[in-house]
Structure 1
């Protein structure tokens, strides 16, 4: 499946990634800037993991922070490149490929620019098909591992003297919060390269084909656009094998930014017995009905679509908007080792005050 990524792939990556963003995953304009910069600067190449040597190291190119546009973040394309360079320097040799921790409005394209400039491959694998709030959720099973991992972070608001370069090493669960603190100190959003792992490990633990899924969905969206928003929504539902839970008005929004660089709270759709409450931790993580019954839970894809069929981030939602709510159950998407790992859920459960693991792990091998 080896192929060069071109200008024709940028918009589909952003469009498809925006659906899998589940309310987070960065910004569409940021994704377009990364994508077009990459294909104009070089020739980023998308490869499957089995096209690399088994011992080749693959790192995760990520962006860390809160996506609701509530902070003075600044992140440039060069920050993604520098993060990989710092990782290579710490290793003493270059990584062979870059995967991403998640799909998203920009995160699907996180590895393209470093690939174009530094020559490593874009690996068709993700730590999670959808976007998520913590690095551990995209760490492909390393969250509970004592094995030391290298993680880097680069970026920050230059005008406010918040620019940071950071290299840390330690067990993933211990050093990931350091990068999130750096994201907050930098202005809320920072580039990262982390957890270099052998291709054989990635093949066994990542969600393979995740970038191709976003590209294919994006192409389907573009093909349907000439028929109007309803056709686009139908195409999204069909291509993702999902369903629409409701078409309703946003009746309440209570989301706040925390010092840990999280946007946490709830968004309510509809009223009365048909009311649905979406629980937010950067992304839409769960949906409860009016009776408090769980309707959807991470790692299900939970996406809000505007009347114009645009996937909306948490920060874009306002009371009074009429929206559609898409649900793609975890049973129809590839699941990585990250989301089957019980250790990644307590942090989010404490922050949100709801249960996640009991629902998220149901039906997976972790539930056995």
Structure 2
């Protein structure tokens, strides 16, 4: 067991911002929620091996489009309320919370409900990197004909009448769609708790140790920051075995919020060295990367765009035409994958929204 502290909040979100792949929530929101958790109680991070195989763990997640293009409100009590609603309607004992992904705020998603309810944070994730829908973080449950989930959510501005609280049961494929639509109605972003699962299941299907990977990456970045951006980039490359795909100037950013799919959809183009053009396709997060029309990066690879001057990982809304950036990738072979990556049923709506193939490139190297 590890008692997380304020330094761990900063490290988790610094590393999570790189794994965010252009999305993953809001850094300042993650800081606020993480520090709040540490303040109200001890936040206990435990490994799966410290729990019994039949112990139940719940995923805490934020749902919606994270680029800051909608009028959302999600407070700390929303994370706690969603967790409490699930526990109140679930016929079983929950021992802790995990996150569906790393990200700019999602790396601390499970901390506040765990602290408030005196439970633990479990060192496992539904996905090492951020992704556009809960289906990708469901660890292979989307197509499971037998698993019936329970999901709860809370969020939205009360003063405008957009606040929503709900509890839903059913197949994850359907409940994920309902919660995404409800998120749109609440203002575009709200807190959820979902998928009570056994530790035995998580050992086989989750990204085991995913929180620790983000914290360790964040620690390496923070240690290098006093020495400047070049030192930070070297630290990231060394810690992740990632690569710089290209450096150049942004020439297009057409990412916009789509109410039909409740995603931030579009692409960002970068004029790189020797006339090459890099195109990063975003559905909330970067899901594919082309170089002169050839696919060079594809989910579940981590695809991150940094501001060149500061080495700050950028969300899609923070990227401006004319900005000098570094396009970075961590190949999928360099980190653990969850079972959700392999589910073909997760991909069609994202492929349709972006107008490109993604799934066919997922395991083209195997």
TM-score (normalised: structure 2): 0.97
Deviating 4+ runs (over 2 angstroms): 361-364
Write the mapping of 1:28-47 to structure 2, written as runs, cut at 5 A. 28-47=27-46
Name 2:252's counterpart in structure 1. 252
Aligned to 1:195: 195
- In structure 2, the residue corresponding to 1:312 is in which secondary structure? coil
The CA deviation at 1:363 is 4.4
Secondary structure, aligned partner of 1:23? coil
Aligned to 2:86: 87
SS at match of 2:364: coil
Q: Secondary structure at the match of 1:145?
A: coil
> How many residues are aligned here?
362
Q: Is the 8 A contact 1:342 1:361 kept in 2?
A: no
Distance, in Å, in 1 between the alignment partners of 2:271 and 2:28 is 30
Q: What corresponds to 1:321 in structure 2?
A: 323
Quote the offset at 1:340 in angstroms. 1.5
1:59 aligned residue: 58
Q: Which structure 2 segments of 5+ residues have no match?
A: none
| 1:275-299 deviation line (CA, Å, top 9, x unaligned) | 0111010011101111x11010000
Cα distance in 2 between the residues matched to 1:229 and 1:273: 25
Report how far residue 121 of structure 1 moved: 1.1
Deviations 1:312-351 (A, max 9, x none): 0011111010010111000111000000222211121111
Q: 5 Å matches for 1:18-167?
A: 18-146=17-145, 147-167=147-167
1:211 paired with 2:211, answer yes
Q: Distance between the aligned counterparts of 2:79 and 2:365, measured in 1?
A: 37
SS in 2 for 1:270: strand
Q: Say what the alpha-carbon RMSD is for the aligned residues.
A: 1.1
Counterpart CA distance in 2 for 1:64 and 1:51 is 29
Q: 1:93 Cα shift?
A: 4.2
Counterpart of 2:363 (choices 361, 364, 368) is 361
Distance 1:93 1:358 in 2: 39
Unmatched 5+ stretches in structure 1: none
In structure 1, C-alpha distance between the alignment counterparts of 2:69 and 2:174, rounded to whole Å:
26
Contact 1:237–1:326 (CA<8 Å) still a contact in 2? no
Deviation at 1:231, TM superposition (A): 0.6
TM-score by length of 1: 0.96
Question: For 1:112-137, what per-residue CA distance to the aligned partner results, in whole angstroms no more than 9, with x for missing partners?
Answer: 01111102211111111100001100
